[in-house]
């Protein structure tokens, strides 16, 4: 292959093939969209579903607490600023 144009076409075709294969693998056409009835009665899957539901409830509770805290902080006046001079950490004596 001495032609530079042919090399560029081969490179472009190989990059295109790479991305098409990538898209095909990412789409995962071999996986089922809906769970099978056997998987729906799986105790591990049911346990994970309950755990996910609990996490979602906890997340909603945290969001409510954060919103209430933001409202309370917005209504409160800002704290007063105090400048305090501290004594030196160490003193030295010269003779």
**Residuewise pLDDT in 10s, the chain (95 residues):** 678 999 999 999 999 999 999 998 888 777 766 665 555 578 888 899 999 999 999 999 999 999 998 888 888 777 788 888 877 777 677 65
Determine, yes or no, domain membership for 64. yes
What DSSP designation does 84 have?
Answer: -
The residue range of the domain holding 68 is 37-74
Give the Cα separation of 7 and 13 in Å (integer). 10
Looking at residue 50, its pLDDT comes to 92
The token pair at 29 is: 């056409």
Determine, yes or no, domain membership for 43. yes
Determine, yes or no, domain membership for 8. no
Looking at residue 25, its pLDDT comes to 87
Determine, yes or no, domain membership for 59. yes
Determine, yes or no, domain membership for 4. no
Cα–chain-centroid distance for residue 72? 28
Q: How many domains is the chain built from? A: 1
Give the Cα separation of 55 and 63 in Å (integer). 12
């Amino acid at each position: 292959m001495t032609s530079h144009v042919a090399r560029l076409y081969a490179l472009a075709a190989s990059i295109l093939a790479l991305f098409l294969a990538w898209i095909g693998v990412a789409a995962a056409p071999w996986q089922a969209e809906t769970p099978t009835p056997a998987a729906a009665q799986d105790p591990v899957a049911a346990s994970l579903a309950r755990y996910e539901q609990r996490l979602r409830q906890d997340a909603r509770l945290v969001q409510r607490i954060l919103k209430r805290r933001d409202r309370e902080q917005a209504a409160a006046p800002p704290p007063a600023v105090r400048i305090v001079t501290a004594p030196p950490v160490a003193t030295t004596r010269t003779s």
